[in-house]
Amino acid sequence: MHKRWKVQLIQTAFNRSQFPEEGLPEIAIAGRSNVGKSSLLNKLVSQKIAHVASRPGKTRSINFYRIEGDVSFVLVDLPGYGFASRSKTERTQWSRLIETYIQTRRTLELLVSLVDFRHGLLENDKMLQEWIHALGIPLLTVFTKVDKISRGKRKANLHKYIREGLRSLEVPFLTSVTSGDGMDSLREFLERYIKENTEVRS
């Protein structure tokens, strides 16, 4: 049983001027619309704090959540990409906001790239991962919705996706917010990551 993380929404940003001041280390959650970013965040903190919807395009702002567990850090829920039915201007605006955040944020310690376990990496997931890699930002791949794939098929599925090419500093985590699979290990990993990567510098 993990020690519960305390969570508090510190900021909702629709543009750069609304980003909170850089302070605590940040872990950002990125992925296609509807992949389960907000759901994963809620599950990590055991609280329904981020809005979840069955229709894609729910989260349109960057939301900063302060986490207090063994360590303090900020979890950042990013708007989803690859959502076709919005207007082009709106799409450009969203991706620009995400790009600005990723390129300028000096306290960004880790980007968690969420990928739907039923599909593996699609073209825009690959683009995101290659771009993050080129920027030299540490990246972890986390698969979502593994409950949709029977247990017996998961290992083969994971290996197929790894063979097809993905970036991840660890073996990708397989998670589900409905079954709770992988959540404890992911929580522990993130906490340890923050601990190890911020101690070195302070």
Ligand X SMILES: Nc1nc2c(ncn2[C@@H]2O[C@H](COP(=O)(O)OP(=O)(O)OP(=O)(O)O)[C@@H](O)[C@H]2O)c(=O)[nH]1
For residues 77 and 37, the answer to whether their CB atoms sit within 8 Å is yes
Token output for 184: 């404890």
- Residues from 45 through 74 that contact Mg ion (CB under 5 A): 58-59
| Residue 176 interacting partner from Mg ion, ligand X, none (CB closer than 5 to 8 Å by kind) | ligand X
| Residue 92 interacting partner from Mg ion, ligand X, none (CB closer than 5 to 8 Å by kind) | none
Q: How far apart are CA 42 and CA 64, in angstroms?
A: 13
* Beta carbon of residue 43, minimum distance to ligand X (angstroms, whole number): 8
Q: How far apart are CA 88 and CA 97, in angstroms?
A: 14
Contact positions vs ligand X (CB under 6 A): 31, 33-39, 52-54, 56-59, 79-80, 144-145, 147-148, 176-178
| Residue 53 interacting partner from ligand X, Mg ion, none (CB closer than 5 to 8 Å by kind) | ligand X
- Radius of gyration for the alpha carbons in the chain, expressed in angstroms and rounded: 16
Nearer to Mg ion, 38 or 176 (CB): 38
Instruction: By CB under 5 A, tell whether 144 contacts Mg ion.
Output: no
Please give the helix or strand (H or E) that residue 70 lies within, else none: none
